[in-house]
Structure 1
Amino acid sequence: MNANFIVPACLFWLLFKPVNAEAQQVKHLVIEGMEAKAISDGITLRSESGSSGTFGYFVMKKGASVPVHSHPNEQYSFILKGSVKASIGDTVMIIKAGETVVIPSNVPHSFTSLEEGTIDLDFFAPRREDWINGTADYFKK
Structure 2
Amino acid sequence: MSRPDTFFNFADLSKGISRTLAAGIETRVFPGQRAMFSVVSFEPHSEGSIHSHPEEQWGVLLEGSGIRIQDGVEVAVGSGDFWRTPGGITHGFRAGPDGARVLDIFAPPREAYTKAGTGFDA
Please tell me the TM-score bracket, short chain as reference.
Answer: 0.7 to 0.9
User: Who wins on radius of gyration, i.e. which is larger?
Assistant: 1
Is 1:113 equivalent to 2:92 in the alignment? no
Partner amino acid, structure 1, of 2:8: L
Partner amino acid, structure 2, of 1:45: T
- What secondary structure does 1:116 align onto? strand
CA shift in 2, pair 1:116/1:37, >3 Å: farther
Is 1:27 equivalent to 2:10 in the alignment? no
- What secondary structure does 1:79 align onto? strand
1:82-103 deviations in Å (ceiling 9; x for gaps): 1111110031101110110111
Q: 1:130, 1:136 within 8 Å by CA — same for their partners in 2?
A: no
CA shift in 2, pair 1:108/1:114, >3 Å: same
- Structure 1: segments with no counterpart, 5+ residues: 1-24
Deviation at 1:47, TM superposition (A): 0.9
Deviation at 1:41, TM superposition (A): 1.7
TM-score (norm 2): 0.82
CA shift in 2, pair 1:135/1:42, >3 Å: closer
* Aligned CA-pair RMSD: 2.4
Partner amino acid, structure 2, of 1:34: K
Q: 2:20, 2:118 within 8 Å by CA — same for their partners in 1?
A: no
Structure number with the higher strand fraction is: 2
TM-score (norm 1): 0.72
The residue number in structure 2 matching 1:12 is none
Is 1:126 equivalent to 2:108 in the alignment? yes
Runs of 4+ in 1 over 4 A off after TM superposition: 133-137
User: What is the rounded CA distance, in whole Å, between the counterparts of 2:37 and 2:95 in structure 1?
Assistant: 19
